[in-house]
C-alpha cells in the first residue's frame, strides 16, 4: 500500500508599526504557524477581543482619558491576556525595527516605502531561513496587512524573492503573496508583534527598559526581535559597491536601462531592474555551510 502524503499548510501573517510621529522608529513583523495552530489562536483571540477590531496602538490608548475609568484598565488587561495567549501558543515570529533618524542620516533620500520594503524583505527572509526547522512537509502562504501605498511593490519584491533558487530549495513558499484587512485576527496578531518590536527600539533610544509584554514574548525564544540603528546602516552603505559588483549592477547601466525602457527612477523600476539583473546573473548566495 502506498503511504498517504499529508500536506500541511503553514501561514505567515505580517504587519507594520511606527511611533506616534512616524519619524523615530518603524517596524515590520511576520508570524508563522500551521493552520491548526492559527485556528486555535484565532478562536481564543476573538473570544478576548469580541466584535472589536484590534489595533495594538489604539487599543492601549483609546480609553486613557475616557470618563469611564474602567475602560482603559480593561483594555490593558485584555492586551495582557492576548500576550499570554501568544506565549502559550506554537506560533513563532520575527520582528525588525529601524531607527529612522539614523537611517536618514546615512541614506538622505530614504522614503517611508523604502523603510517598509527593507523591513519586509528581511522579516520574510528570516522566516524563510528558519522555516526548515519548523516545516518538514507542507506549503507556506504569506499574507500581509493591506496597504495601498506599498502593496504593489511588496508583491513585486516578494515575487522576485520567490524566484531565488536558494529559497525554493529551503522552504516551500507559494509564489503569490496575499493582502488582508485589519479585520483578520491573524493580521491583528502580527500587528501586536510589530508594535512590540517598534516599542522595544523606541524605549531603548529613550533609555527606558523593555515592556513586560516584550520580555514575556522574547523569553519564549519563539518571538525574535531585532533593532537596527546607526552602525548597521553605515555597514550596509559601505557594502553596497561590493553588492553591485557581485550582482553585475552599475549605476551607469541602470540609467541606460531606464532610458531604453522609457521609465523613471522609482522603487518599482529599481525592482524591475533587479529582476532583470537577476535573470541575467542568477544569484549564488549559498555558502559551504548552507548559510547566506
Is 3 contained in some domain?
Answer: no
- Is 15 within 8 Å of 194 (Cβ atoms)? yes
Alpha carbon separation from 286 to 20, 62, 64, 269 (Å, rounded): 40, 48, 51, 27
Query: In terms of domains, do 94 and 58 share one?
Result: yes
Alpha carbon distance 158, 208 (integer Å): 35
Contacts of 73 by beta carbon, 8 Å cutoff, 6+ apart: none
Report the pLDDT value the prediction gives residue 12, as an integer from 0 to 100: 92
Query: In terms of domains, do 228 and 255 share one?
Result: no
- The CATH number linked to 166 is 3.30.420.10
Total domain count, the chain: 2
Query: In terms of domains, do 94 and 157 share one?
Result: yes
Is 291 contained in some domain?
Answer: no
Query: In terms of domains, do 226 and 251 share one?
Result: no
Query: In terms of domains, do 183 and 264 share one?
Result: no
Query: In terms of domains, do 112 and 199 share one?
Result: yes
Is 139 contained in some domain?
Answer: yes
CA quadruple 253, 254, 258, 261: dihedral sign: positive
Is 4 contained in some domain?
Answer: no
- Is 274 within 8 Å of 121 (Cβ atoms)? no
Query: In terms of domains, do 186 and 270 share one?
Result: no
pLDDT along the chain (292 residues), means of 10: 57 93 93 94 97 94 92 96 97 94 84 83 80 63 87 81 59 79 96 97 96 96 93 82 66 81 75 64 37 30
Query: In terms of domains, do 47 and 78 share one?
Result: yes
pTM of the model: 0.84
Alpha carbon distance 125, 130 (integer Å): 9
Is 219 contained in some domain?
Answer: yes
Alpha carbon distance 65, 127 (integer Å): 39
Is 292 contained in some domain?
Answer: no
Residue-range definition of the domain harbouring residue 57: 9-232
Query: In terms of domains, do 168 and 69 share one?
Result: yes
Amino acid at each position: 500500500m502506498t503511504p498517504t502524503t499529508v500536506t500541511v499548510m503553514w501561514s505567515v501573517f505580517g504587519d507594520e508599526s511606527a511611533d506616534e510621529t512616524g519619524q523615530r522608529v518603524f517596524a515590520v513583523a511576520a508570524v508563522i504557524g500551521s493552520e491548526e495552530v492559527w485556528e486555535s489562536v484565532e478562536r481564543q483571540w476573538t473570544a478576548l477581543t469580541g466584535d472589536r477590531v484590534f489595533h495594538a496602538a489604539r487599543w492601549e490608548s483609546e480609553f486613557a482619558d475616557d470618563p469611564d475609568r474602567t475602560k482603559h484598565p480593561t483594555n490593558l488587561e485584555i492586551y495582557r491576556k492576548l500576550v499570554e495567549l501568544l506565549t502559550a501558543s506554537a506560533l513563532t515570529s520575527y520582528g525588525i525595527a529601524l531607527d529612522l533618524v539614523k537611517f536618514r542620516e546615512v541614506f538622505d533620500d530614504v522614503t517611508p516605502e523604502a523603510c517598509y520594503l527593507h523591513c519586509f524583505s528581511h522579516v520574510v527572509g528570516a522566516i524563510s531561513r528558519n522555516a526548515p526547522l519548523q516545516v518538514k512537509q507542507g506549503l507556506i502562504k504569506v499574507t500581509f496587512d493591506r496597504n495601498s501605498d506599498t502593496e504593489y511593490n511588496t508583491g513585486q519584491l516578494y515575487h522576485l524573492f520567490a524566484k531565488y533558487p536558494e529559497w525554493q530549495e529551503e522552504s516551500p513558499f507559494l509564489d503569490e503573496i496575499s493582502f488582508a484587512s485589519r479585520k483578520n485576527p491573524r493580521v491583528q496578531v502580527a500587528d501586536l508583534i510589530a508594535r512590540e518590536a517598534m516599542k522595544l527600539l523606541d524605549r531603548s533610544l529613550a533609555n527606558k527598559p523593555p515592556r513586560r509584554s516584550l520580555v514575556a514574548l522574547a523569553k519564549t525564544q519563539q518571538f525574535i526581535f531585532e533593532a537596527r540603528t546607526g552602525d548597521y546602516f553605515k555597514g550596509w552603505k559601505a557594502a553596497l559597491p561590493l553588492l553591485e559588483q557581485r550582482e553585475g549592477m552599475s549605476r551607469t547601466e541602470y540609467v541606460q536601462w531606464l532610458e531604453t525602457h522609457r521609465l523613471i527612477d522609482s522603487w518599482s523600476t529599481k525592482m524591475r531592474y533587479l529582476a532583470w539583473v537577476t535573470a541575467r546573473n542568477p544569484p549564488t548566495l549559498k555558502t559551504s555551510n548552507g548559510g547566506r
